[in-house]
């Protein structure tokens, strides 16, 4: 059984271990280097000041995480945020992403967030480093395409595009 809980800075090493293959083997993230555990610990601490950061555990092993962060960072955007999710390779395809995002969305809604945004690496042609699976996942979660930036990220000797997807989770009064 999988348990969802708030991530803590002490989870940094486990989260880096999940994130590292995304950095080293895919264009899902445009980071080139795996962050140090200490840097990841700081990222978690910084996020938790204003947003949820959720870890998924199965039999005591962290197998995925999702978090939110500031969208653009200006005061006028404080009812919007950017969301991200990463699942350990052996736990993909089990509905864990759906559970994590549902929990994240619930917490953000309670916090007064109205708009969710996901920045997603996008291949014009799928290859061994990047598919359109993340876009499909977000579509299933109720996100829709909001913008497309062509050939803006360079990794593994090739150019990748990026799309923004959005989901409205509250009433704009």
pLDDT at 1: 79
Can you list the pairs that 19-22 forms with residues at least 24 positions away whose Cβ atoms lie under 8 Å?
Answer: 19/86, 21/89, 22/86
- Collapsing DSSP to helix, strand or coil, 83 comes out as strand
DSSP conformation class of 145: E
The DSSP bridge pattern shows strands 53-58 and 80-87 to be unpaired
| Contact predicate 42/144, CB 8 Å | no
Kindly provide the b/e burial profile for residues 77-96, where b requires at least 16 CB atoms within 10 angstroms of the residue's own CB. eeebbbbbbbbbeebeeeeb
pLDDT at 89: 93
Helical segments of 30-169, H only: 37-48, 96-110, 133-140
Structure tokens at 116: 């969710």
pLDDT at 52: 98
| Contact predicate 163/122, CB 8 Å | yes
Torsion, CA 157, CA 163, CA 169, CA 171, rounded to 10? 150
Domain ranges of the chain: 2-168
pLDDT at 160: 98
- Collapsing DSSP to helix, strand or coil, 65 comes out as strand
pLDDT at 94: 87
pLDDT tens series, the chain, 173 aa: 799 999 999 999 999 999 999 999 999 999 999 999 999 999 999 999 999 999 999 999 999 999 999 998 899 999 999 999 999 999 998 899 999 999 999 999 999 999 999 999 999 999 999 999 999 999 999 999 999 999 999 999 999 999 999 999 999 99
* Assigned architecture for domain 2-168: 3-Layer(aba) Sandwich (3.40)
Sign of CA dihedral 164, 52, 49, 116: positive
The DSSP bridge pattern shows strands 80-87 and 115-122 to be parallel
pLDDT at 37: 98
Entry pTM: 0.95
């Amino acid at each position: 059984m999988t348990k969802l809980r708030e991530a803590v800075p002490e989870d940094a090493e486990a989260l880096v271990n999940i994130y590292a293959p995304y950095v080293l083997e895919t264009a899902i993230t445009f980071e080139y280097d795996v962050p140090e555990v200490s840097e990841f610990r700081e990222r978690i601490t910084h996020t938790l000041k204003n947003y949820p950061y959720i870890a998924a555990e199965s039999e005591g092993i962290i197998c995925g995480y999702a978090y939110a962060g500031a969208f653009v960072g200006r005061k006028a955007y404080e009812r919007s945020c950017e969301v991200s999710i990463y699942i350990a390779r052996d736990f993909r395809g089990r509905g864990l992403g759906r559970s994590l995002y549902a929990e994240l969305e619930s917490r953000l809604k309670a916090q007064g967030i109205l708009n969710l945004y996901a920045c997603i690496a996008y291949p014009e042609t799928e290859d061994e480093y990047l598919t359109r699976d993340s876009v499909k996942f977000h579509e299933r979660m109720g996100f829709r395409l909001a913008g497309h930036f062509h050939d803006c990220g360079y990794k593994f000797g090739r150019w990748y595009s990026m799309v923004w997807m959005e989901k409205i989770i509250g009433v704009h009064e």
